Structure 1
Amino acid sequence: MTGAVITIAIILIIAGGSTFGVVAYFRLQRHRADAVAMASYRKLAEDASAGHEALHRQLGALDDRLKSIETLLRSVG
């Protein structure tokens, strides 16, 4: 009787350890996938920020040109 109980206990310990190992492995894989996705989102945000800065510079240049055109039109008229 005690031999059977010990055998069952050992089998349960091995099964629990194996289950824990498999769960930990898949949790690690999910974490790695999330890290890759976050890196791509970070790159996308950096690209968007750089695009906004470039657009802001272009709008500033356009504003300067528009002011010079208005000044020219006022001096002519």
Structure 2
Amino acid sequence: MTGAIVAIAIVLIVIGGITAGVVSYFRLQRHRADAIAMASYRKLAEQAVANQEALQAELATVAARLASVEELLRSVE
């Protein structure tokens, strides 16, 4: 009787170890996929910041041109 209990316990321990290994493997794969997705999001965010900085620079030049046009109009009046 005790031999059967020991055998069942050993089998359950082995099955539990295999299950834990499989679960941890798929969890690792999910984390890797998340890391890849986060890297692409980070790249997209960096591009958005660069585009926003370029847009702000262009807006500053437009504002400067507008100011010069306003000065010209005021001088004509």
TM bin, normalised by shorter chain, reads over 0.9
Match of 1:19 in 2: 19
Distance 1:36 1:54 in 2: 27
Distance 1:42 1:8 in 2: 50
Match of 1:43 in 2: 43
TM alignment of 1:1-77, pairs within 5 A:
1-77=1-77
Runs of 5+ unmatched residues, structure 2: none
> Alignment length, in residue pairs?
77
CA-based RMSD? 0.8
Q: CA deviation at 1:2?
A: 1.6
Distance 1:74 1:17 in 2: 83
Q: Normalized against structure 1, the TM-score is what?
A: 0.94
Matched residue type, 2:42: R
Distance 1:10 1:63 in 2: 78
Q: Normalized against structure 2, the TM-score is what?
A: 0.94
Distance 1:13 1:74 in 2: 89
Runs of 4+ with deviation above 6 angstroms: none
Runs of 5+ unmatched residues, structure 1: none
